[in-house]
Structure 1
Amino acid sequence: MSGLMEKEIDDQRITADEWVTHYLGQLGSFLKGSGVRRDQAQSGNIPCVRYGEIYTTHHNIVRDFHSHISAEVSAEATRLHNGDLLFAGSGETKEEIGKCVAFVGHEEAYAGGDIIILRPKGVNSAFLGYLLNSPPVVRQKASRGQGDAVVHISAAALGSIQLELPKIDEQERIASALKDIDDLIASLDALIAKKRDIKQATMQQLLTGKTRLPGFKEEWPERKLGTEIKMQVGFPFASRFFNRGGQGTKLVRNRDLHGTPDDTYYAGPFDDDYLITNGDVLVGMDGDFRPCLWTGGGALLNQRVGRIKCKSGRRALFFYYLLEPHLAELEKKIAGTTVKHLSHSDVENITCCFPENLEEQSAIGSLLRDVDNEIEMLEAKLSKAAVLKHGMMQQLLTGRIRLV
């Protein structure tokens, strides 16, 4: 391929200048991983990759290890070399078969059974780690998978996959750019996990009175939550008035609290007492009892969803956080044949110690909300980084954008 020629590969338009077509099998030699049963995965301190981990914990590049084997087990496994490409040889679906990760480390490490290893030469393995998981290549692997209940792919089938490769220096630049965005995503993931741990520890201290905020010393009396709050149960609105065309008022159902809203609207008559607004504390009454701080705008409270209504002057935000651990405990205790159910009395009869002082309630709620706001801000950054990476892979791995 040379000059201004262009070639269509799997619906991806690739500029041909300096990109050359190769079969994967031309890039190196294949070998197999071996050994390492599940019960041997933590038998020592030598790093190891097991085939299931390629699906669950490794993505594009091996960054750390989750299995560590003994010297005796390693004698039956396959030693990895820097630059090796590891493919999952079996899986549950053709769409995921042959997922690949690149081993770019220099430490002693091994591959277990059901892993196909390509030991390439003259290419950048990190670049291939990304390219071999790109949609055009995934489609090629899926077309070569064999089996139904369990799907397998062979080294020969992998070897027949066609790739468009730039020169080695451009491979290195592309791999570096994608690694940078991966590093950003990993750092955000770690920071979010740390902030969540801090929030959990803070809740355990502040919501039990073990740690008090400055200026508050009064004892917390033990009493039922029903002395301060009531749970309003949603109304069974007639389904004949339901629609998805945006007519009427948005309806809040159990699935809307923690999943993707289904945008159901209600165009019939209703009592204003069932209107909810941002900042209301809602609780699902079937299956998942986690409280929700509603931010979806004006809507109607449907049946099997409860709203926490505080006595005059009480702070709903404080009770949103106070309820979380108690509802989690209730969810464990309440028995159900298929789906667990929650009643308003289950919530109102929760007995615990909490402050009577309204200012202390407000201070605790505000502090915890600040922590949540910080976590949500980081999650938004993480989401943007993931979108950016997706776009970069689409552009860089097809030659639409060149790093020259």
Structure 2
Amino acid sequence: MSNQVAEVSAKYLVEAAEKAVPVGYKQTEVGVIPEDWDVATIEELAGIIDPQPDHRTPPESSNGEPYIGISDFINSKEVDWTASRKIISKAVDKQEKSFQLQKGDIVFGKIGTIGVPKFVPQVPFRFALSANVILLQPKNIEPVYLMEFFYSELFQKTLKSELHSTSQAAFGMNKMRLIELPLPPKEEQTAIANALSDVDALIRELEKLIAKKQAIKTATMQQLLTGRTRLPQFALREDGMPKGTKPSELGEIPDDWEVHALGSLCGYQNGKAQEQYFNSNDGYKVISIGNYSESGRYIETGSYIDKQFKNEIGRFVLSCDDLTMILNDKTAVGTIIGRVLLIEADDTYVMNQRTMRLTPKEGVQSKFLHFLINSDSVHKRIVGMAKPGTQIYVNTDDVLEFNLIVPNSQYEQTAIATILSDMDAEIQALEQRLGKTRQIKQGMMQELLTGKTRLIKSSKEVIHE
């Protein structure tokens, strides 16, 4: 009876496995792939070179040639040549005798920053590769296809499982040789590479456009928030003559603007540690140090306080048009210290420690103040008055005494804030489009690099037609 049960079970498992693999596909070590695809190792598809096999850093030279590792890549196309380590020319000569860099070669971080593969740049001068990378020279594979595989979910899972820890994470030559990947026919590799490259080009264009819009916004803020450029409706006196300027402790400012201490523009309240009430499900959204971005945007962290604790924390619940300023920084550099968030909903957010509530008084427009305090020139002044430490900080009294220049007219404050808000909205729309395009790219990689979606018909499909 037990043998019969075993036979039935085995038959059932075989049938289930067959049903799990679609017609025209096969189960392999790297998952389900098309029947006309192969599985190959990196060793079979690319030359694998250790650029510095003795792992000794060559002697440095102030007049030497660049010694490039993964950390020197700003992005996939650019290298920070000026900041890279410089080594003696003999060390570059030694590498050139061992191997020649070619178009389509890939460098792959093997120590510290693992992975993050980059194409070797083509430049009109010599350089050497550091000991912290592996050099791959594709032979029997489309280089872009191989690069896309390294960024795929399949490889990233493999990488995580293979990493081992010594003094720091490392991924050695032997592990690289044995990595397996799905391998379509060459024509399909090229089609996949072209499709993904087209999306990459769109992503790069969106990134450039966002950077351009950010630069325009920064320049506009610098002009409008200092009064150097006046909006037409506020630029002339009643007699039609241009408005003048006057000296102040913050330099030359418009006649109808004034210098005010922040404490005279806003009421204030310091936050309090609320961690004992935290949950990760629902309730008031917590405003804490991790919620501040470098540009003054709110970052969602998933920390909440249940509204059943309103009696305990109610006086720290924020109102619409409140501003919250961060008084500490995560580092000694000061990227977020003094940044403010604009609260745009009642009974939704609650302050935690290291945060100060600023409630604009009558005649002070909250959005204007939000842009003004987050502007580069004001932020630099706040960082300049911060107290030193592993996490620099500012005192409440210093914040309240901090001087700002503000238009006397609330209408002008509103007009400036509206222009900057419109620019912000345009940038955020582009960023959302960029994020969606990156998601599309990830979805395409999952479909194309596993053969779930085919760009080239298989030979069997062609014969059948």
Query: TM-score scaled by structure 1?
Result: 0.81
Q: 100, 118, 127: which is aligned to 2:145?
A: 127
Q: Does 1:374 align with 2:426?
A: yes
Change (3 A) 1:172 1:386: same
In structure 2, the CA distance between the partners of 1:160 and 1:352, relative to structure 1 (3 Å rule), is closer
Answer yes or no: is 1:86 the counterpart of 2:86: no
Query: 1:156: Cα distance to partner?
Result: 3.9
Structure 1 pair 398–296 and aligned structure 2 pair: CA distance change class (3 A): farther
Task: Specify the alignment match of 2:291 in structure 1.
Answer: 256
CA radius of gyration, larger in: 2
User: Where does residue 327 of structure 2 map in the other structure?
Assistant: 285
**Matching residue within 355, 359, 364 for 1:309:** 359
Following superposition of structure 1 onto structure 2, how do residues 177-196 of structure 1 map, counting pairs within 5 Å?
A: 177-196=195-214
State the alpha-carbon separation in 1 of the partners of residues 320 and 118 from structure 2.
44
Q: 1:401 to 1:371 in 2, by over 3 A?
A: same
Distance in 2 (CA, whole Å) between partners of 1:135 and 1:18 is: 22
Q: 2:409 aligns with which of 357, 360, 377?
A: 357
CA contact 2:40–2:181 (8 Å) conserved in 1: yes
* Residues 41 and 67, structure 1, Cα contact 8 Å, conserved in 2: no
The code of the aligned residue for 1:318 comes to F
- CA separation in 2, counterparts of 1:195 and 1:39? 41
Structure 2 CA distance, aligned partners of 1:129 and 1:20?
18
1:386 aligns with 2:400: no
Distance verdict in 2 for CA 1:348–1:187, change over 3 Å: same
* Matched AA of 2:412: E
1:142 is displaced (CA, Å) by 5.1
Query: Could you tell me which residue of structure 2 aligns to residue 97 of structure 1?
Result: 114
Say which of 352, 360, 372 aligns to 1:322.
Answer: 372
Q: In the alignment, residue 29 of structure 2 is paired with which amino acid?
A: I
CA contact (8 A) 1:289 1:328 kept: no
With over 3 angstroms needed to count, the CA separation of the structure-2 counterparts of 1:399 and 1:330, relative to structure 1, is: same
**Closer, same or farther in 2 for the Cα pair 1:118/1:244, shift >3 Å?**
closer
RMSD over aligned CA atoms reads: 3.5
Q: What CA deviation, in whole Å up to 9, does each residue of 1:80-128 have, x standing for no partner?
A: 112323333x312xxx635433459697775513233333323211111
8 Å Cα contact 1:281-1:307 kept in structure 2: yes
From the superposition, tell whether residues 253 and 177 of structure 1 become closer, same or farther in structure 2 (CA, over 3 Å).
same
Change (3 A) 1:293 1:116: same
Deviation at 1:20, TM superposition (A): 0.6
Cα 1:71/1:307, change in 2 over 3 Å: same
- Measured after TM superposition, the shift of residue 362 of structure 1 is 1.2
The residue correspondences of 1:46-65 to structure 2 (distance < 5 A) are 50-53=68-71, 56-59=73-76, 63-65=77-79
Partner SS, residue 232 of structure 2: coil
Question: For 2:165 and 2:275, how far apart are their aligned partners in 1?
Answer: 44
Opposite residue 319 of structure 1, the aligned amino acid is L
Alignment correspondent of 2:9: none
8 Å CA contact 2:323, 2:342 repeated in 1: yes
1:137 maps to a residue whose letter is F
Partner letter of residue 177 of structure 1?
A: A
- The amino acid that maps onto 1:233 is Q
| One-letter amino acid of the counterpart of residue 260, structure 1 | E
> Which ranges in structure 1 are unaligned for 5 or more consecutive residues?
none
Question: C-alpha displacement at 1:207, in angstroms?
Answer: 1.4
What code does the residue aligned with 1:229 have?
A: L
Cα distance in 1 between the residues matched to 2:62 and 2:343: 44
The Cα of 1:52 is off from its aligned counterpart by 2.3
Confirm or deny: 8 A CA contact 1:80 1:109 kept in the other structure.
no
**Aligned residue-pair number:** 388
Q: Distance in 2 between matches of 1:260 and 1:106?
A: 42
Check 1:244–1:126 CA distance in 2 against 1; reply closer, same or farther (3 A cut).
closer
Q: Is the 8 A contact 1:231 1:306 kept in 2?
A: no
Give the structure 2 partner of residue 33 of structure 1.
51
Cα 1:242–1:99 shift into 2, 3 Å = closer
| Letter in structure 2 aligned against 1:85 | I
> Which of 345, 350, 370 is equivalent to 2:397?
345
- Identity of aligned pairs, percent? 24
Q: SS of the counterpart of 1:276?
A: coil
In structure 2, distance between residues paired with 1:277 and 1:207: 25
Q: Deviations over 1:333-378 (max 9, x none)?
A: 2215454444443333222432112221111111111111111111
**Closer/same/farther in 2, CA of residues 134 and 39 from structure 1, 3 Å limit:** farther
Aligned to 2:348: 299
Aligned-residue offset at 1:327: 4.4
Q: 2:80 corresponds to which residue?
A: 66
Q: Judging changes above 3 Å, is the alpha-carbon distance between structure 1 residues 398 and 106 closer, same or farther for their aligned structure 2 residues?
A: farther
- Any gaps of 5 or more consecutive residues in structure 2? 1-22, 235-242, 244-253, 294-298, 330-336, 457-465
DSSP-derived class of the 1:87 partner: strand
Indicate how the Cα distance of structure 1 residues 275 and 38 shifts in structure 2: closer, same or farther if over 3 A, else same. Answer: farther
Where 2:222 maps in the other structure, the secondary structure is helix
Q: TM-score, normalised by structure 2?
A: 0.72
User: For the residues of structure 1 that align with 2:123 and 2:395, how far apart are their CA atoms?
Assistant: 58
